[in-house]
């Protein structure tokens, strides 16, 4: 086996770090309550894939709302007040 292949295989094997049962369990505890909230609001005959797509959009929106509520957003460009320009 060439040296390049050996180096490549070592790198792949080093990066491969399987998840533990506990890590998967903790992720599931965090994921499924949010999934259930979105799924309950979906139409009756929707599929899981549809719920996952909507959930991604809802989570993005929630992240933007979090930034907005914290005050991390705005003012931009010509909307800046004179106080913002001087600081």
Instruction: Supply the DSSP string of 8-75, one letter for each residue.
Output: HHHHHHHH--PPPHHHHHHHHHHHHHHHHHHHHHS-TT--HHHHHHHHHHHHHHHHHHHHHHHT-S--
Which residues does 66 contact at the CB level (< 8 Å), separation at least 6?
Answer: none
Mean pLDDT per 10-residue interval, the chain, length 87 residues: 72 75 96 96 95 96 89 64 60
CB 59 within 8 A of CB 34: yes
* Residue 14: per-residue pLDDT: 64
Angstrom distance (rounded) from CA 21 to CA 10 = 25
pTM score:
0.59
């Amino acid at each position: 086996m060439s040296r390049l292949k050996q180096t490549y295989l070592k790198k792949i094997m080093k990066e491969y770090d399987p998840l533990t049962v506990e890590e998967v369990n903790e992720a599931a505890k965090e994921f499924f309550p949010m999934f259930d909230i979105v799924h309950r609001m979906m139409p009756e005959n929707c599929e899981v894939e549809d719920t996952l797509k909507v959930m991604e959009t809802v989570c993005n929106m929630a992240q933007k709302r979090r930034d907005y509520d914290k005050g991390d957003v705005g003012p931009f460009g010509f909307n800046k007040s004179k106080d913002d320009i001087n600081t």
